[in-house]
A and B are shown apart, each in its own frame.
Chain A
């Protein structure tokens, strides 16, 4: 009886941890990418989105200057800016990744806008995304396509 209780408790504790698998990481030079995700799209006519977490373990700043992917002919970096309650989405051509700091491309902030999709992004699929850094060079990361209703990465940063 007590054994069963202990086992059940252990399972109850570990389930939420198991649900949040560790994010896949890619490291090159001082830059580490993790938790790359996108939302499933309805058709291919509307732009998709790209989110990722970028960590700079170096002692000098680096800059993210562009993104490329085979799934979109026109990927761009944007920043959502909310001023007096109104949202605008200016182009961000050079995003600083400060030394020793982490910058997230995340909802309501910096994000990749993937225009001219070659096909719809299906939930459960993935696609490669290459991020171009001034110092660390190009880094590719596998991007998970989450449900259209996703609000954050399906994994937790280690």
Chain B
């Protein structure tokens, strides 16, 4: 009986040692620990280039959209505006960013006036085709022009609909899928801030 217990204990020790070794090995492996750090370098309406690294120290909420979008984009911006209000003084440590997937048209129609109507803190970025494509690729998201004869200008955009959360070191922390209530986003941000 005692012998059996001894054997079981030694097995437990062996298992935990193997577990420890596996954990240590994982930590040493750069492939496992390298963070995903998506990147953009895009101009605001005034032409000033903003880069991901400019926001180090802040939590950044990134949305890819277009201002001719009647449903998803204004609904998400309304949620973001609510989050920024509900964060109170902690809102200083959060930067919401709207990256246009339809930059040419959005520059013409006035991105800032549109976003300011939701919340003054939301930064609108609209690059050229190349820099927009680079940001979309880096975030591993989707933003594509679709021909639609019935839409204004003869096209509409299909685009990723989530809000992406980037941490103060530039690391991808996660995403809030469309429809996540503002309260849930606020709660998660408050936990992290």
Q: How far apart sit A80 and B74, CA to CA, in the bound complex (Å)?
A: 13
Stretch at the interface among B4-12, B43-51, B89-97, B156-164: B156-164
Q: How far apart sit A80 and B159, CA to CA, in the bound complex (Å)?
A: 11
Q: Chain B interface residue count: which class?
A: 35 or more
Residues of A within 8 A of B156 (CB): 89
A42 near B75: Cβ-Cβ < 8 Å: no
B109 near A46: Cβ-Cβ < 8 Å: yes
B79 near A78: Cβ-Cβ < 8 Å: no
| Nearest opposing residue in chain A for B114, CB measure | A42
Q: How far apart sit A43 and B152, CA to CA, in the bound complex (Å)?
A: 15
Judge whether A88 is part of the interface by a CB distance below 8 angstroms: yes
Tally of A interface residues using CB under 8 Å: 31
Residues 22-50 of A at the B interface (beta carbon under 8 Å): 39-40, 42-43, 45-49
Judge whether A91 is part of the interface by a CB distance below 8 angstroms: yes
Given A42-B117, A148-B118, A150-B78, does the pair A87, B178 have CB atoms closer than 8 Å?
yes
A87 near B158: Cβ-Cβ < 8 Å: yes
- Minimum CB–CB distance from B159 to chain A (whole Å) comes to 6
Residue ranges of A at the interface with B (Cβ–Cβ < 8 Å): 39-40, 42-43, 45-49, 74, 76, 78, 80, 82, 85-89, 91, 107-108, 111, 113-116, 148-151
